[in-house]
Amino acid sequence: MPRQGDVLLIPATLPPGQDCNRVLSKGGRHILALGEKSGHHHSVAATPDVARYRPDDAGGVRQGYLVVEREPVLLEHQEHPPLTVRPGTYEVRQQRTYTPAAPQPHSD
């Protein structure tokens, strides 16, 4: 399972039918996790072979899905070495900071 910093990619399958929506890229990149304090992000280049999906229950633990079709892509972050992601479908998980009131996304 590829992991870069607080982002983990778990091999998976997309939920059926209407349970997931395709997400458009921003600035030519698919941002998988964004650091609220630093603005750093884990992202991959938006190419015809890469798609990102977000589940309807976006408030849950699942951050979404990444589908890499034919060619490997680089998962990049400003403070980590690039990581090669092979073709496949992945569930994107982000490390969370636990607080008794509610889990919060980990921020850098």
Q: Are 77 and 4 in contact (CB under 8 A)?
A: yes
- Residue 55 pLDDT: 77
Which tens digit of pLDDT belongs to each residue from 60-74? Answer: 545 789 999 999 999
At 90-99, the pLDDT tens digits run 998 876 665 6
Residue 67 in contact with residue 85, Cβ under 8 Å?
no
pTM of the model: 0.75
Tell me if residue 42 falls in helix, strand or coil: strand
Please report, for the chain, the start and end positions of each structural domain, with discontinuous segments joined by +. 3-97
Distance between CA atoms of residues 93 and 6, nearest Å: 8
The CA–CA distances, whole Å, from 12 to 74, 97, 104, 106, 108 equal: 19, 24, 24, 23, 27
The string of pLDDT tens digits covering residues 22-62 is 888 878 888 887 766 666 788 888 889 999 888 765 555 45
Written as one letter, the residue type at 70 is: R
pLDDT value of position 6: 76
pLDDT tens digits, residue range 8-29?
A: 899 998 877 656 788 888 788 8
